[in-house]
Chain A
Amino acid sequence: MGRTLAEKVWEQHVVRRADGEPDLLYIDLHLIHEVTSPQAFDGLRLAGRKVRRPELTIATEDHNVPTVLGPIADPVSKTQVETLRKNAAEFGVRLHPMGDAGQGVVHIIGPQFGLTQPGMTIVCGDSHTSTHGAFGGIAFGIGTSEVEHVLATQTLPAYRPKTMAIEVSGELPVGVTAKDLILAIIAKIGTGGGQGHIIEYRGEAVRKLSMEGRMTVCNMSIEAGARAGMIAPDETTFAYLKGRPHAPSGEAWDQAVAYWKTLRTDDDAVFDQVVEIDATTLTPFVTWGTNPGQGLPLGASVPDPESFADPVARSAAERALEYMALTPGTRLRDIEVDTVFVGSCTNGRIEDLRSAAEILRGRKVTTRMLVVPGSMMVKKQAEQEGLHEVFKEAGAEWREAGCSMCLGMNPDTLQPGERSASTSNRNFEGRQGKGGRTHLVSPQVAAATAITGRLTAPADL
């Protein structure tokens, strides 16, 4: 019987296999940021251990950094960032600090340097590590104990997850994006639907996505409960990688591509679960509740909790509507927002900024709008293309790179009761600031919403 893509990549990385034990898996790339690493480095120091492979490790400052120029005002945030600097220096790990041309959100910089490649195993103390699976590797988030484990051994003990295929047939209609697709998938399978699985996204609509779009889809696999999501590499992948600083070159490029072409699910392979989605039926999608599975097409209305047959879903909906201050039957298009956020590891790449700018060109925003590039390299490219002028002329704020309002660890937060349309990945209670209310949207819907002040698709303008 054939093997799935996930099985091929997993098998390639098994260091040791023994009956009744998890596999010992080799890790090709370990990404580090300031929030989940300090206690791991402390653990190494306490045990007198070194970083086994500092040259397979890279660090950046992203979660705490301010997105306006200047030093970090919050002393606790400052200490955390300084701790990363000390640890990186002491253990010999490459770091891209604030102000560095390579600094940015950890999941944006790996791909832009060409460090994220097909067939690799990639981990980071961050659940959105699933992003990197867009290149056809296995990439997943880990906790701080595992960060320490990878630093010390460059391996992780793990059981191979089950496999799930999400087959997206047909083409996405014009105006429907990768973000709409993944929000629709999460609404269909639920926040626990992918639990214990690696998802492989397949089908015509997936093949037609750009690398940026594929990263958006894989990024939110964790929101469907799956630790990892992946897409088989193809010519789109190779074209994105070619010429990047850490991509192979010359003969090594040809060797690598020959191998990467074998990284596809065999025709006779069997997945543990298969989910089918018809891309042609999709429309712009937004969330109304407090978990990413509570989403609907923008044309729908706030659901009545009584309409949920499952008592758990019903009580979750009741609680979500109370927190979100929404009434059943309200048209989603009538929901007014105070703030629009474009950015994050989900939608902070150049293509996202281009598509938001396209809608804002020659128009004015009526809400507060933050545009936060995912990395300094994205920022530089956007400025070369003049996108920053479009945002500024429309009345939006053009910021420095970082995680920003996705989770509000820096000063970019919602005030209690404030409502946002956000291109980030989580609409949890208080995620963007205590008492803040979040609607997850695509960059296009975010831009259109900033213009009208209500949840809006570009086609409505």
Chain B
Amino acid sequence: MDAFTTHTGKAAPLRRSNVDTDQIIPAVWLKQVSRTGFEKGLFAAWREDPSFVLNDPVHAGASILVSGPDFGTGSSREHAVWALQQYGFRVVIAARFGDIFRNNSTKMGLLPVVLPGERVEDLQRAIEADPELQVTVDLAERQVRWAGETVAFEIDDYTRWRLMEGLDDIGLTLRHADDITSYENGRQPWLPTTV
């Protein structure tokens, strides 16, 4: 995955809560076997509504999505992350995320940033007042900054390091292949196999 250190860009305010992954990418889009082309399915049903925020030309080119709470709930489909990234988003900011979505995001280098609900709303209002507002998400400093405002966010050191280095989890785990083998030798004898 691509390394993430800091990103500055335009942001789009999504004033909805419980944005489940079925809305981010409807199931009909999950039938593909490739990893590309999902941007067309991003918010497919909502984008049919001309008044949907991403259809507003003032938000064209936005790379930071600022959503209401409980973003990415529901289905585990990683296609939701791919769709957001392929559409051009690098960061999603919300007060709360679905656990699986948040995890999937960090595996792919899409940064999920948790800010307090009132600060999310401050940022949404600032974007609505000035859609050209430049928002900086600084993973090194763990800060979101816009128009003189600075808000800190939390992320664990390990995930931050992995994102900043752009490291592949499988490669990291395979460095411990000996530990896995020795664990396997001690597994309980009655555990089932599928053969």
- A: residues with CB less than 8 A from B are 15-16, 20-22, 24, 26, 28-29, 35-36, 38-39, 42, 47, 49, 52, 54-58, 63-64, 74, 76-77, 79-80, 83, 94, 114-115, 117, 120, 125-127, 140-146, 148-149, 152-155, 157, 159, 161, 191-192, 195-196, 222-223, 225-227, 246-248, 252-253, 255-256, 259, 290-291, 293, 312-313, 315-316, 319, 407-409, 426, 428-431, 434
**Can you list 13 pairs linking A and B with CB atoms under 8 Å apart?**
A35-B30, A74-B31, A83-B33, A94-B195, A115-B194, A143-B104, A145-B78, A146-B107, A148-B170, A149-B169, A157-B173, A428-B23, A430-B23
Q: Are B156 and A56 in contact (CB under 8 A)?
A: no
Q: Are B194 and A57 in contact (CB under 8 A)?
A: yes
A247 to B191, CA, bound (A): 8
Interface flags, B129-142, vs A, CB<8A=1, else 0: 00000000000000
Chain B residues with CB under 8 A of A16: 176, 179
Q: Taking each of A39, A49, A54, A80, which has the highest tally of chain B beta carbons within 10 Å of its own beta carbon?
A: A39
| Residue B53 interfacial (CB < 8 Å) | no
Chain B residues with CB under 8 A of A161: 99
Chain A residues with CB under 8 A of B107: 143, 145-146
CB distance from B97 to the nearest CB of A (A): 8
Q: Select B26's contact among A20, A63, A313, A434, beta carbons within 8 Å.
A: A434
Known A-B contacts A20-B158, A316-B18, A434-B26; the reply to A225 vs B183 at CB < 8 A is no
Minimum-distance CB pairs A-B, first 3:
A143-B78, A143-B104, A145-B107
Known A-B contacts A127-B76, A142-B76; the reply to A195 vs B96 at CB < 8 A is yes
Q: Are B16 and A149 in contact (CB under 8 A)?
A: no
Q: Are B74 and A80 in contact (CB under 8 A)?
A: no
Q: Are A255 and B35 in contact (CB under 8 A)?
A: no
Q: Select B74's contact among A26, A144, A259, A426, beta carbons within 8 Å.
A: A426
A428 to B72, CA, bound (A): 12
CB distance from A40 to the nearest CB of B (A): 9
Chain B interface, >50% SS class: loop
Known A-B contacts A15-B180, A57-B194, A145-B108; the reply to A429 vs B30 at CB < 8 A is no
Return the chain B residue nearest A254 by Cβ. Answer: B190
| Residue B65 interfacial (CB < 8 Å) | no
Q: Are B73 and A407 in contact (CB under 8 A)?
A: no
A442 to B192, CA, bound (A): 32
Chain A residues with CB under 8 A of B173: 24, 149, 152-153, 155, 157
CB distance from A69 to the nearest CB of B (A): 21
Q: Are B180 and A143 in contact (CB under 8 A)?
A: no
A225 to B100, CA, bound (A): 9
Chain B residues with CB under 8 A of A144: 78-79, 104
Return the chain A residue nearest B161 by Cβ. Answer: A20
CB distance from B69 to the nearest CB of A (A): 6
Known A-B contacts A16-B176, A246-B192, A248-B190; the reply to A428 vs B74 at CB < 8 A is yes
A141 to B73, CA, bound (A): 12
Q: Are A15 and B179 in contact (CB under 8 A)?
A: yes
Q: Are A430 and B169 in contact (CB under 8 A)?
A: no
A253 to B33, CA, bound (A): 41
Q: Select B27's contact among A94, A141, A409, beta carbons within 8 Å.
A: A409
